[in-house]
């Protein structure tokens, strides 16, 4: 078989990036690595680039460039080293690349993900913040370029697998799939599902990052604790599957075995189950439409014994309510929601604000966004402007705490 995809992995040193390279390494006949990018952990990037024979690497600045060279094994030809955000977008659109894994965390991943969509690549989308910030622009780019969009977020990957099968379903849908009543997004409830409410004020970053089922980067781990992650995923599902928010329901499922479900008009509910291991959705997206081995262990249902479901508690998880509010308010509010959360989570991880102040920062920024009137940005520049503005408002609010 000839190589099926030449990959660009944006954010290759992160949790999703590392899992992607793990799957790729199992199929040298199918995949080759063209480009890798990292923002920190530059020595790990050099090790990855050497092991996978990457031809291009992208680093943020001169310092990282020098660190990459210093870490490079002597005697091996250096890959081409590119620098900065524009290089992320240019490389994602490079004609040499056929598939782009968008696995940078935060809105920082948007320019690269959007460039991949505009260039008509197979886009493996883990970077949900890109879709939250730029939903309509991003989906329009996919439609116009004929890109293939494969959701990597486990819930959306599950829904994608449970939707009606058709040859072109990786192309952006303009309407919700026929016969579908609702999308049921499962959520683990995170580490604080049962913590006494009066103790939440004093939880530490390490406690918030100790997810019961998934090993992930620190930002998404905190988002899972607040359930803002599920809020971002509701917005993500809205765009990916053209589904109005009234038809997207969140169900708490502590075992994280049912990754999400599609409910049909006849009462059938189709679910996708598996281990909580990102290599499953990654292998699905890479191999699509084939099924390939991702190295994931068996799920022994009898050993598991039971699957539980409950309704999310919006008092415990105000960030989920705020996400629905933002989606109802429109694109400008979704940008504010995401940017405010990025600043708040960073502040919490650095010990500058308390866990329970995260929703306060978001609420303040959503109020600010409403006060300025509904805005629907129509270009990447306008989105990045609104994002930057919200970050200033959020940082000011955090400083005043
Ligand atoms: P991570 O923090 O482990 O890795 C992030 C990657 O992005 C790293 O390679 C880092 O160097 C790079 N990066 C960080 N800031 C950057 C910047 N400003 N510019 C360019 N590159 C930057 O994150 P992760 O857990 O792998 O998550 C990545 C994305 O995938 C997130 O959007 C997350 O929501 C999504 N996702 C992750 C998981 C998971 O299991 N980890 C599951 C579903 C979705
Ligand atoms: Mg998810």
Summarize pLDDT for 142-167 with one digit per residue, the tens: 999 999 999 999 999 999 999 998 88
- CA–CA dist 213, 85 (Å, integer): 33
Residues 6+ apart with CB under 8 A from 330: 374, 375, 376
Task: Express each pLDDT in 290-311 by its tens digit.
Answer: 999 999 999 999 999 999 999 9
- 270 CA to centre of ligand 2 in angstroms: 18
- CA–CA dist 381, 83 (Å, integer): 20
Tokens 């955090």 -> residue: 398
The pTM for the full model equals 0.98
**Are the C-beta atoms of residues 320 and 231 closer than 8 Å to each other?**
yes
What count of Cα atoms within 13 Å lies in the side-chain half-sphere of residue 85? 8
> Does 48 sit in the ligand 1 pocket, CB within 6 Å?
no
pLDDT value at 374 more than 90: no
pLDDT value at 17 more than 80: yes
pLDDT value at 28 more than 70: yes
Measured CA to CA in angstroms, residue 181 lies from 187, 239, 246, 261, 280 at distances of 20, 16, 10, 11, 26
pLDDT value at 5 more than 90: yes
Q: Please measure the distance between the N-terminal and C-terminal CA atoms of the chain and give it in whole angstroms.
A: 59
Residues 6+ apart with CB under 8 A from 300: none
pLDDT value at 41 more than 90: yes
Average pLDDT, the chain: 96
Tell whether residue 43 is among the known ligand binding residues: no
Ligand 1 pocket mutation, candidates 8, 10, 11, criterion most atoms within 8 A of CB = 11
Going by alpha carbons, the residue nearest to atom 40 of ligand 1 is 216
- CA–CA dist 132, 128 (Å, integer): 6
* pLDDT for the residue 1: 59
Which residues sit with Cβ closer than 5 angstroms to ligand 2, an ion? 153-155
Of 109, 83, 11, the C-alpha closest to 380 is 109
């Amino acid at each position: 078989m000839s190589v099926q995809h030449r990959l660009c992995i944006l954010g290759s040193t992160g949790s999703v990036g590392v899992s992607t390279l793990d799957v790729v390494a199992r199929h040298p006949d199918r995949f080759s690595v063209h480009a890798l990018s990292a923002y920190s952990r530059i020595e790990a990037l050099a090790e990855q680039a050497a092991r996978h024979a990457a031809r291009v690497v992208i680093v943020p600045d001169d310092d990282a460039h020098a660190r990459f060279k210093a870490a490079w094994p002597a005697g091996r030809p250096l890959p081409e080293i590119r620098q900065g955000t524009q290089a992320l977008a240019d490389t994602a659109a490079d004609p040499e690349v056929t598939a782009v894994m968008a696995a940078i965390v935060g809105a920082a991943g948007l320019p690269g993900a959007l460039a991949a969509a505009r260039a008509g690549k197979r886009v493996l989308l883990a970077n949900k913040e890109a879709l939250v910030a730029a939903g309509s622009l991003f989906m329009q780019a996919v439609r116009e370029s004929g890109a293939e969009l494969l959701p990597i977020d486990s819930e959306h990957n599950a829904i994608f697998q449970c939707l009606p099968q058709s040859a072109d379903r990786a192309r952006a849908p303009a309407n919700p799939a026929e016969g579908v009543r609702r999308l049921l997004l499962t959520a683990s409830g995170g580490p604080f599902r049962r913590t006494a409410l009066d103790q939440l004020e004093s939880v530490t970053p390490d406690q918030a990052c100790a997810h019961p089922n998934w090993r992930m980067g620190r930002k998404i781990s905190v988002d899972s604790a607040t359930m803002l992650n599920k809020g971002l995923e509701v917005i993500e599902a809205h765009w990916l599957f053209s589904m109005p928010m009234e038809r997207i329901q969140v169900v708490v499922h502590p075992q994280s075995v049912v990754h999400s479900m599609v409910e049909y008009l006849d009462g059938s509910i189709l679910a996708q189950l598996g281990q909580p291991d990102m290599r499953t959705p990654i292998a699905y997206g890479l191999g699509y439409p084939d099924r390939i081995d991702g190295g994931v262990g068996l799920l022994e249902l009898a050993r598991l014994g039971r699957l539980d479901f409950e309704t999310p508690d919006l008092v415990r998880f105000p960030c989920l309510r705020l996400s629905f509010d933002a989606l109802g308010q429109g694109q400008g509010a979704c940008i504010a929601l995401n940017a405010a959360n990025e600043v708040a989570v960073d502040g919490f991880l650095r010990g500058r604000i308390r866990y329970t102040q995260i929703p306060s920062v978001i609420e303040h920024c959503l109020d600010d966004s409403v006060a300025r009137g509904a805005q629907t940005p129509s270009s990447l520049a306008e989105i990045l402007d609104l994002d930057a503005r919200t970050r200033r408002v959020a940082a000011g609010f955090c400083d005043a705490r």
